[in-house]
Structure 1
Amino acid sequence: MDLMARPVVHNDSLRQDLLSVAADLLDRDGPARVTLRDVASAAGTSTSAVYSLFGGKSQLLTAVVDDGFRSFHDSQLAAADGGLDALGVAYRTWALEHRALYRLMFGGALAAYADCQPSPDAASDAMQPLMEAVAAAQSAGVLVQAPVELVAVAIWGQVHGIVSLELAQMGRPDADWAAVYRSALDAIARGWAA
């Protein structure tokens, strides 16, 4: 009779649960205060499952950010056929649906955590649909002729600023952020029009 223990195989569902729980805890407590025990407990599993799936805390943090950029990229790709306006709407929608991830990816909290090394490709890939939409709009004569990256980063900065203000709940408590954002998208389109 073979009494050797079989290794526990952890599935993708548990991996996704751990990523989601980690993002929420990181958003709430910051990377320095979150432990793997906290993450495992909140996900209803063991720390050995976290180590088995990710290797350690720095790898978990990296996976959280990389997964966030992939999810963001997918949402941008899904909206890409609608052009710049659709990408702008998808940007805000994704941020509101993934508040914790958005703040982690773009809020700088992980930048101070030296052990977290997100993939540079994940971040740049996430912005590729915007770059392509800018190039297409320029080819169609809709946007001014300027370096694609310059226009794309300027547009990104503008939508990022409004979304970040909304997530931080800046302004009046009764602010109509959807209307503010719509106005910003319209102003961006007018400002970069050919």
Structure 2
Amino acid sequence: MVNSRSRQTNSAMRAQLIEAGIELLETDGPESLQARRVAAAAGASTMAVYTHFGGMTELLGAIVAEAFARFGAALSAVAPSADPVADFFVMGYAYRRYALDNPQRYRLMFGLATPSEPPATTHDFTAAPVTDAIGAETFEQLVTVVDRMIAAERIRADPIRDVAARLWSLIHGIVLLDLSGSFGAEDRAITQILIPATVDILVGMGADRTHIESSLTRAAETIFGRAD
């Protein structure tokens, strides 16, 4: 009973430190991710970081892992429909929305923020399914929807993981430029850049433009509750 209570207490403190780190990151930027500041925000002593994580490197890794878990939940919030291309567009919308709502978190997730001891991981997601890398499950979600698009003969049957990587690279690059303000305001990034570029790459992979437009309409109905 004592051990069980102790484990629950440890788990609760770990969760508090991770949450405090995420909140500090968003409000004060990556430079705020210091043991003293994170512990204080969690209502604990600095020693708690070392007791529960071993140090800031491990805590940073846990913050990134939690950020990716929430990212994955955002991408999978809508159940798959009969139209895999529409589902892909819904996922793309959720991807951009998560990044815009959590810009510092998004940058840290992809190694673009610079805390004092950033966690480093390198994996080739295109070679085979990766299960031991932070964020791998989010790439696998994209692989799944690409697999469905190919199985439905909506796009050319190139290697699935390569196609997923191409689409990820396109979306990620545009989102980063969007975060920097490169495309102005009023959602120009999505209406004038991201959607047209995505349609073009899918058409280049054999999709019928008219069918893609229909899928876009269905995606808008899912996202906004109406055709947009």
Structure 2-normalised TM-score? 0.67
Closer/same/farther in 2, CA of residues 21 and 178 from structure 1, 3 Å limit: farther
- Give the 3 Å change call, closer, same or farther, for CA 107–58 of structure 1 in structure 2: closer
Given candidates 106, 120, 144, the residue that maps to 2:156 is: 144
Distance 1:175 1:76 in 2: 20
Determine helix, strand or coil for the equivalent of 1:122: coil
Sort the Cα spacing of 1:111 and 1:128 in 2 relative to 1 into closer, same or farther, 3 A: farther
Q: Distance in 2 between matches of 1:77 and 1:88?
A: 11
Q: What's 1:191 paired with?
A: 204
CA distance in 2 between counterparts of 1:74 and 1:173 reads: 27
* Structure 1 unmatched runs, 5+: 1-5
The equivalent of 2:92 in structure 1 is: 88
Deviations 1:2-38 (A, max 9, x none): xxxx9793553x544432442454575546x742001
1:155 to 130, 150, 167: 167
Give the partner amino acid of 1:183.
P
**Amino acid across the alignment from 2:59:** L
Amino acid of the structure 2 residue aligned with 1:182: I
Q: Aligned equivalents of 1:18 and 1:187: distance in 2? A: 44
Pairs aligned (count): 186
Structure 1 residues 190, 80: closer, same or farther in 2, change over 3 A? farther
| Cα distance in structure 2, aligned partners of 1:84 and 1:192 | 15
* Structure-2 change in CA distance of 1:111 and 1:11 (3 Å): closer
Of 173, 182, 188, the residue aligned with 2:195 is 182
CA contact (8 A) 1:72 1:94 kept: yes
Residue number in structure 2 paired with 1:71: 70
What is the distance in 2 between the residues matched to 1:38 and 1:70? Answer: 24
1:162 Cα deviation after fit:
1.2
8 Å Cα contact 1:23/1:104 also seen in 2: no
> How far off is 1:90 after superposition?
1.5
1:107, distance to aligned residue in structure 2 (A): 4.0
RMSD of equivalent CA atoms: 3.1
Equivalent-residue separation in structure 2 for 1:49 and 1:11 (angstroms): 12
Deviates more, 1:140-149 or 1:165-174: 165-174
Structure 1 residue aligned with 2:45: 46
How far apart in 1 are the matches of 2:23 and 2:177?
19
Seen in structure 2, the aligned counterparts of structure 1 residues 141 and 168 have a Cα distance that, compared at 3 Å, is same
* TM-score normalised by structure 1 residue count: 0.77
Provide structure 2 residue ranges, at least 5 long, that are not aligned to the other structure. Answer: 82-86, 122-130, 208-228
Amino acid at match of 2:197: A
2:142 aligns with 130
Of all paired residues, the percent bearing the same amino acid is 31
Looking at structure 2, the residues matched to 148 and 183 of structure 1 have their Cα atoms a distance apart, in angstroms, of: 22
Kindly state the Cα deviation for residue 113 of structure 1 after the two structures are TM-superposed: 4.0
Paired residues of 2:104 and 2:113 also in contact (CA < 8 A):
no
How many Å separate the matches in 1 of 2:132 and 2:94?
Answer: 22
